[in-house]
Amino acid sequence: MDWEKNVRRTEPYVAGEQPGQGGVVKLNTNECPYPPSPKVGEVLKGLDFEGLRLYPDMDAKELVNTLADYYHVKPGQIFVGVGSDDVLAMSFLTFFNGGKPILFPDITYSFYDVWAEVFRIPYRTCPLDGDFRIQKEDYQKPNGGIVIPNPNAPTGVMEDVGVLEEIVAANPGSVVVIDEAYVDFGGESMLPLIGRYPNLMVVQTFSKSRAMAGMRIGFAIANEKLIGYLKDVKFSFNSYTMGLPAILAGKAALLDQAYFKETVGKIIDTREWAKEQLKGLGFTLTDSKSNFVFASHRSIPAREIFQALKENNIYVRYWDKPRINNHLRITIGTREQMETLVAFLENYIKER
């Protein structure tokens, strides 16, 4: 049809499968296995529903001010959005407008190339080495911007902050975005370097460590000029992207630091336990610092294990892509869920 000539087409991001039936062990989308802070529930139960007839505060000041206090920055250094995906997409649209290609790893969050395609941004992927680590020299070449997740996904590998700082320092003419969606699970944040580098922006989310994937809250922290440009683009699309429930729930979650530490601590403990169990079953794993592990069995193809797990209502993530098509990404669930996974794998490997 003639009208199709003017359609913008791209290959969309494919999320992890969301099984409709109950009774499954769902370890494929990196969701937190525990509920949000009870204080979030209290806030939502006490929500003044009359207030929902009004537009929310376009600046989300209650949440932004709480984030500013929590991270010891100015409110003007914070941008909030509907999940870190929204924040990252706005960042691509705002900062990556030069003719040179933007750079990001070849094995990484698969939304990056989708946004680049949608916004017609030239890009080049930089190959990770054999240990799934970035090679800093790849990012010290002419570019139109840089995006690096730390820890990376789906590998879970955490790069040394010193290496990333070298990359930021070597690119004063480019905005460098560090995507820290998983940093709370044992990583080191780049946030302390924001004041030193005006081209550095750090992006985080409430979806993982704060168990609020369903609420969609993400944020960026950078110098005020970068954040100002980001807001200009956002407000050119939709000034009211974050609803009142999300603003209030996000604030409540931030204020319950004890619950946050307890939840993250349980996930880290379970992750380390799962690593040892999987190694004992013949798996090789990266030293993940995220809420998932990246595993490859020494003799059984990943696709086969993936299918066997799925047929038994245990869902993990598999990609049929070069370099990672013999790996599984396994979200860290509760200890009980991980014990179910390990018990199945032990029996499957024994009887195979």
What would the mean pLDDT of 143-172 be, rounded to a whole number?
A: 98
Contact between 202 and 149 under an 8 Å Cβ cutoff? The reply is no
Q: Mind listing the pLDDT tens digit for each residue in 269-298?
A: 999 999 999 999 999 999 999 999 999 999
For 177, list phi and psi in degrees, rounded to 5. Answer: -105, 125
Query: Per-residue pLDDT for 12 more than 90?
Result: no
Does position 5 have pLDDT exceeding 90, yes or no?
no
Task: For residues 127-142, give the mean pLDDT.
Answer: 97
* Calpha distance 290→280 (Å, rounded): 21
pLDDT at 210 exceeding the cut of 80:
yes
User: Mind giving me the DSSP string for 220-283?
Assistant: EE--HHHHHHHHHHHHHH-TT-S-HHHHHHHHHHHH-HHHHHHHHHHHHHHHHHHHHHHHHTTE
Kindly state the helix (H) or strand (E) to which residue 81 belongs, with its residue range.
strand 78-81
> What is the pLDDT, as a whole number, of residue 240?
84
Mean pLDDT of the chain: 95
Residue 54, amino acid:
L
Please, which pLDDT band fits residue 72 given cuts at 50, 70 and 90? very high
**CA distances in angstroms from 192 to 64, 78, 174, 300, listed in the order given:** 18, 14, 19, 43
- Rounded to two decimals, what is the model's pTM? 0.95
**Predicted pLDDT of residue 252:** 98
> Taking residues 5-17, what's their average pLDDT?
77
Residue type, position 289, single letter: K
Q: What is the pLDDT of residue 9?
A: 78
Q: The tokens 């990484």 sit on which residue? A: 108
Label residue 204 by pLDDT band (50, 70, 90). very high
- Residue 302 is predicted with a pLDDT of 98
